[in-house]
């Protein structure tokens, strides 16, 4: 049943997102000063006909490729035997609903977050968290959830947390309200279908890019936007030493670190980052544990910095 539901979600998502052209509503992003972003599509003042035509072709090709990708993944899923379902660790069905930690005086808390997975380095990072006694939040892509469902269950079983990061990492600044809402809701549904635990009431937009429309959708859907206060730009440097040094220099109480569990170099950096932070007295918690109940529509950068 779970497989059928997952396939239906994937098909529905593919159909819905195929209608999101990705060119409407190109408003300026609202980003706090000092916040680093991977890349943001910059709206151009003048769009000539040739550019427009090329955009349409590109968008169509992207969606065709996306639907083909999803169809392949559906075919693969269908041809699998059903026996793998029995191999799923049912223990993870237990609720791991977020709880606010009552902080003892002097205790420092930090939330490490991993975007763009689940991927091949998610499990090694999870093993490190388990080994040293920490938790983290994984902002996953809805389109990757079904094929990595065992990892998703392992994340939950370990006590870490799964939240949405859009269906296929499209820049929300290029989408209209309904398409943004679909990206958030389909991803949450795909997560719930595997974990059987309602995802937390927050998400992280791709590239950390948001504007008033994204915030309106967040408010409407009762979700908050989670940004970060420490960005080692691990996707750019791919250098474990630089990633390690950056994090160790800037780690602070109540902070939110952004990293990506799809890079080998990030997993390598974590081999030192996780034990070192714990040694320094940081308790590594999930975003839900750090922030407690979040306010819909609000943007959070850390425990102590947020914006309405």
Nearer to Zn ion, 115 or 182 (CB): 115
Catalytic option among 63, 165, 260, 263? 260
Helix, strand, coil fractions of the chain, as percent rounded to 5 = 50, 10, 40
Q: Give the footprint of Zn ion on residues 188-207 (CB under 5 A).
A: 206
DSSP state of 105: T
**Residue span binding Zn ion (CB under 5 A) among the ranges 110-118, 149-157, 244-252, 284-292:** 110-118
Nearer to Zn ion, 172 or 244 (CB): 172
Total residues at interface with Zn ion (CB under 5 A): 3
Q: Say if residue 205 is exposed, middle or buried (CB neighbours under 10 Å; 0-12, 13-18, 19+).
A: buried
Nearer to Zn ion, 116 or 234 (CB): 116
For residue 121, the tally of other CB atoms under 10 A from its CB is 20
Nearer to Zn ion, 84 or 236 (CB): 236
β-pair partners for 260: 115
CA atoms within 13 A on the CB side of 85: 11
Active site residue 260: yes
| Preceding omega of 118 cis (within 30 degrees of 0) | yes
Q: What does 180-244 look like in DSSP terms, one character per residue?
A: HHHHHHHHHHHHHHHH-SPPPSEE--GGG---HHHHHHHHHHT-EEE--SB---HHHH--HHHHH
Output the smallest distance, CB 50 to Zn ion, in A.
30
Q: Which of 63, 1, 6 is nearest to 186 (CA)?
A: 6
Q: Which of 15, 23, 83 is nearest to 55 (CA)?
A: 23
Catalytic option among 115, 182, 188, 231? 115
Between CA 263 and CA 115 the distance in angstroms is: 10
Active site residue 115: yes
Is 261 near Zn ion (CB under 5 A)? no
Output the smallest distance, CB 218 to Zn ion, in A.
17
Q: Which of 200, 250, 199 is nearest to 228 (CA)?
A: 250
Nearer to Zn ion, 114 or 282 (CB): 114
Q: Pick from 116, 161, 185, 231 the residue near Zn ion by CB under 5 A.
A: 116
Output the smallest distance, CB 88 to Zn ion, in A.
27
**Residue span binding Zn ion (CB under 5 A) among the ranges 107-115, 130-138, 147-155, 291-299:** 107-115
299-300 and 306-307: which strand pairing?
Answer: antiparallel
Is 115 near Zn ion (CB under 5 A)? yes
Nearer to Zn ion, 115 or 289 (CB): 115
Is 234 near Zn ion (CB under 5 A)? no
Q: Which residue is nearest to Zn ion (CB)?
A: 115
Ramachandran angles phi, psi of 307, nearest 5°: -135, 135
In a 3-state reduction of DSSP, which class is residue 118? coil
Residues contributing to the site for Zn ion (CB under 5 A): 115-116, 206
Q: Which active-site residues does the annotation give?
A: 115, 260
């Amino acid at each position: 049943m779970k497989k059928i539901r997952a396939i239906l979600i994937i098909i529905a998502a593919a159909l819905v997102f195929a209608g999101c052209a990705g060119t409407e509503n190109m408003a300026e992003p609202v980003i706090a000063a000092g916040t680093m972003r991977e890349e943001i599509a910059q709206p151009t003042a003048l769009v000539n006909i040739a550019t427009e035509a090329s955009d349409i072709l590109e968008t169509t090709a992207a969606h065709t490729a996306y639907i083909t990708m999803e169809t392949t993944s559906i075919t693969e899923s269908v041809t699998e035997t059903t026996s793998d379902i029995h191999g799923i660790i049912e223990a993870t069905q237990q609720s791991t609903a977020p709880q606010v930690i009552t902080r003892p005086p002097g205790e420092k808390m930090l939330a490490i977050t991993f975007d763009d997975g689940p991927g091949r380095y998610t499990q090694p990072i999870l093993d490190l968290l388990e080994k040293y006694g920490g938790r983290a939040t994984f902002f996953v892509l809805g389109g990757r959830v079904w094929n990595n469902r065992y990892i998703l269950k392992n994340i939950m079983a370990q006590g870490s947390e799964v939240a949405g990061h859009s269906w296929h990492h499209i820049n929300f600044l290029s989408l209209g309200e309904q398409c943004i809402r679909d990206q958030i809701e389909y991803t949450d549904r795909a997560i719930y279908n595997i974990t059987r635990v309602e995802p937390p009431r927050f998400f992280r937009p791709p590239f950390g890019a948001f504007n008033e429309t994204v915030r309106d959708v967040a408010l409407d859907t009762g979700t908050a936007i989670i940004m970060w206060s420490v960005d080692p730009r691990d996707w750019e440097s791919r250098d474990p030493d630089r990633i390690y040094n950056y994090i160790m220099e800037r780690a602070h109480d109540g902070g939110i670190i952004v990293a990506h569990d799809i890079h080998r170099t990030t997993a390598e950096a974590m081999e030192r980052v996780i034990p070192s932070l714990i040694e320094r007295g940081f308790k590594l918690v999930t975003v839900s544990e750090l922030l407690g109940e979040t306010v819909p529509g609000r943007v959070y950068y850390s425990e102590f910095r947020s914006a309405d």
